Structure formats: structure tokens, C-alpha cells
Amino acid sequence: MRRTIPWIGLAGILGLAVGSSAAEMRTDEIDSKILGRTVKLNVLLPDGYDREPDARWPAIYLLHGVGGDYTEWARVGIAEEAAGLPVILAMPEGDRSFYVNFHEDPKGRWDDYIVEEVVKHVDARYRTIPAREKRGVSGLSMGGYGAMMLGLRHPDLFASIASHSGALSGPTTKAGGEIGELLAKVFGPEGSATREAYDLVRLIRDLPEAKRPHIYIDCGAQDFLLDANRAYVAELAKLKVPYEYREVPGGHTFAYWKANVRYSLSRQLEAFGKEAPPANDLIGEWELVIDFGGQSADYTLRIGGTPEALSAVLVSPRSGEHKFKSISFAEGVLHMEIDRTYSGTALTLVYEGKPSAEGLAGKVTAKGYEGLAGEWTAKRKETKREEAP
């Protein structure tokens, strides 16, 4: 039987959960400080997003091509192709930027915009799993290059990369006319530091093996970018980098991307399942911050024991030590439960979260109480791992 409890006595500890949004295509606006203007993005929520208000979802960022905008994937038919897949899809605006920080143009910092503002916006507004292991990037044409580049430059953010018909030669492309002018504007003249910094071959060569994301590439057999894709795949093979490459009938068309995007999304979701970090990475002391409705409280979280039998203690600066009655870590998800009493009300608080590039993050709820939820984050307090007392 579910119960309700008064707000009085729990202020600063528990807050009303924010109502979930409809499972549909959303259009958001980001007031970008980096770009100095307001920029739009589409977000497609998965089936069941509204029906499961406590659920969290992996996120994949879909990047558009040079002639498109943030609506391009919607026009490709992503809503139909992604139906039933358990993932939040974010489709940001990329203009004609190749998603890089422009050569000598402080207003063209699209690389910074995506990784610093778009990812932050999506993680804050939607119920993502805010961890590298559950985040991917994908794209078509220019966006295929952008996905590969962002995934290799920011492997702490993205566990999987997918490219459809990607312009993978990017800054090394020699072209005249409008495309040549665009490449010069974005990457600078031949031999520039910007071209070197965004060269995909150099990026994968310089990236340590342990940090390499999962890589998926496909290209149509009739696509004018086929040679560029084959050349990049050959470099991956030469470097002994694991990848999946599919070459199937089709050209540089919406029909081709529509026919192949569900397969690539499925492969990325499968890759997420293989990215769970080991449990012993959790052992140690953490600076824990719990936020309920804008009101936060600071604690120390001590995780000890062994990977097979973890233990945990919550240290409050106000009331001392409190032992978690259970803690588990399975398939990359940390689950902890603790009994607490606030203003005479006995509660079992449930913490669920995931490791992320910044530490740990997740959601805290109260068993048996309707509509009570908050967010929590934890940063490692010290590098030395210690047993919980």
C-alpha cells in the first residue's frame, strides 16, 4: 500500500519529483553561451518514458549532414525506425560546421557546444543514465564525420560511435568550389593546426587502446563517399582497431539512412551492455551530494568490502554514521538501500546510479511514498581505496 507524507519535516531532505514528459518528439532550445545564440535540438523519447517515471535510459546523439539541420533525422523517419528501442535520441543543430571548433573563429566552437552544452542539457532535462558507458554518438554524412571525431576526441563521454555515409576524410579532403570554401572556413588552410587536430586517422592512432569507443560504420555501395569510408576502415584494420563495417546497396539518400539506422542503433545499445566497469572501481570514499527540489545536503559515502560483497556507510556531518542495509552492483548499476528516520517518519531510501566520467550519479527515492524523489552525485574523495568500517 502506498502512503503519502507531509512536506513539513522533510524539507531539504525529500522533494516532489518532477513530472515526466510525454513520450514523443520534443523540440528544445539552448541559450548557448559558447555560440552566443539560441540553438534548437530535437529529442525523441522512448516508448514507456511516461509510463515508467522511475526508469532511466541510455542516450545517443544523432548528428545531421551538411545540407540539413536538427530536423533532418526526423525527416529521415527516425521516429518510425527507433520505435520500441530503449534509448533517448538527441538531435542537435550543427549548421555546416562539421561539428568542430572553427579555425580562428571564436563564434564557431561547435565541438565545445556539443560536449559542454548539449550533453549537459539532455542529461539535466531528461532521465538519461548520465554515464559514458550508456552514451553514444552517431551521424550521417557530415554528421558521420562529426560522430567519429567527437567520439575519438571525447572518449570519456561516449562509449560508442556510429557513422552512416560519413565524410570521414574530413579535414584532409581536397575539393574546390563551395565545399572547398566551406572546408577552408571550418578547418583553415592546408597544413593548419586545426586540420591536424581534427584528422580522424591521427585521432584514432593517438587514442590509447583502453579508451577506444565501440565503432560502427556503414556506407552505400553507390555512395560518392564510399572510397573515403573504405580508406578509413583500411586504416582501422592497419592499426588493429576493432570495428564493424557494412557496405550495402544504396546511395547518399534518406532512404538509405532510414533503412540502416535501426541496425546501427541496436548495435550501439548492445555495445553499452558490454561497457560496465568493474565493481572494485567503486571502493573508496566519496563526497556525496543529494539534491531534492533544489535543496541539497552533503555527506561522505564510504564503499568497502570486496567486489563480490560490497558494504557501504553514509557519514552525516549532523548525525554521524549510518550503515546501508544492502548494496549491489550488477550490469553497471549501483543499488543501495538505507533506513533513515526524519521527524519521526521511518523511511527506506533507495539509491540507484551509474558510474560516470565525473564520478557517480543517479536517483534517490523513498520506498512506499508516492512522488518523492531526488538526484545524487558523488565524486571520489581520495584516491586510496579503503574498507568501510
Residues 337 and 263 in one domain: no
Residue whose C-alpha is closest to residue 144's, from 223, 249, 238, 80: 223
Residues 166 and 100 in one domain: yes
Give the pLDDT confidence score for residue 357 in this predicted structure.
Answer: 57
Residues 250 and 360 in one domain: no
- In this structure, what CATH number is given to the domain that contains residue 141? 3.40.50.1820
Give the pLDDT confidence score for residue 271 in this predicted structure.
Answer: 94
Whether residue 6 lies inside any domain: the answer is no
Residues 137 and 169 in one domain: yes
Residues 106 and 195 in one domain: yes
Residues 223 and 299 in one domain: no
Give the pLDDT confidence score for residue 229 in this predicted structure.
Answer: 97
What is the identity of the amino acid at 315?
A: V
Q: pLDDT 10s per residue in the chain (389 long)?
A: 333 333 323 333 333 233 333 348 999 999 999 999 999 999 999 988 988 888 899 999 999 999 999 999 999 999 999 999 999 999 999 999 999 999 888 889 999 999 999 999 999 999 999 999 999 999 999 999 999 999 999 999 999 999 999 999 988 887 778 888 888 898 988 889 999 999 999 999 999 998 999 999 999 999 999 999 999 999 999 999 999 999 999 999 999 999 999 999 999 999 998 765 556 678 889 999 998 777 888 999 999 887 778 899 999 998 899 999 999 988 678 999 999 887 788 889 999 988 865 688 889 998 888 677 889 999 987 543 333 33
- In this structure, what CATH number is given to the domain that contains residue 304? 2.40.128.120
Q: Which three cell numbers stand for residue 49?
A: 518514458
Q: What span, in angstroms and rounded, lies between the C-alpha atoms of 88 and 272?
A: 13
Beta-bridged to residue 329, according to DSSP, are: 334
What is the span of the domain harbouring residue 296?
279-380
Whether residue 245 lies inside any domain: the answer is yes
Let me know if 43 is exposed, middle or buried by CB neighbors in 10 A (0-12, 13-18, 19+). buried
What is the identity of the amino acid at 236?
A: L
Please give the full DSSP string across 119-163, using - where no structure is assigned. Answer: HHHHHHHS-B--SGGGEEEEEETHHHHHHHHHHHH-TTT-SEEEE
Give the pLDDT confidence score for residue 116 in this predicted structure.
Answer: 96
Give the pLDDT confidence score for residue 179 in this predicted structure.
Answer: 82
Domain boundary among 238, 254, 272: 272
Give the pLDDT confidence score for residue 332 in this predicted structure.
Answer: 75
Beta-bridged to residue 33, according to DSSP, are: none
How many separate domains does the chain show? 2
Residues 152 and 237 in one domain: yes
Give the pLDDT confidence score for residue 386 in this predicted structure.
Answer: 38
Give the pLDDT confidence score for residue 251 in this predicted structure.
Answer: 97
Q: What span, in angstroms and rounded, lies between the C-alpha atoms of 344 and 56?
A: 31
Measure the CA angle with vertex 225, ends 219 and 228; round to 5°: 95
Domain boundary among 239, 272, 305: 272
Alpha helices in 6-125 (DSSP H): 72-76, 78-81, 110-112, 119-125
Domain boundary among 229, 255, 272: 272
Residues 371 and 292 in one domain: yes
Residues 243 and 166 in one domain: yes
Give the pLDDT confidence score for residue 175 in this predicted structure.
Answer: 77
Residues 364 and 222 in one domain: no
Whether residue 20 lies inside any domain: the answer is no
Whether residue 10 lies inside any domain: the answer is no
Residues 172 and 81 in one domain: yes
Give the pLDDT confidence score for residue 279 in this predicted structure.
Answer: 63
Residues 44 and 158 in one domain: yes
How many residues are given for the chain? 389
DSSP state of 121: H
Q: Which residues, other chains included, contact 350 with Cβ-Cβ below 8 Å and sequence gap of 6+?
A: 335, 336, 337, 364, 365, 366, 367
The counts of H helices and E strands in the chain are 10, 17
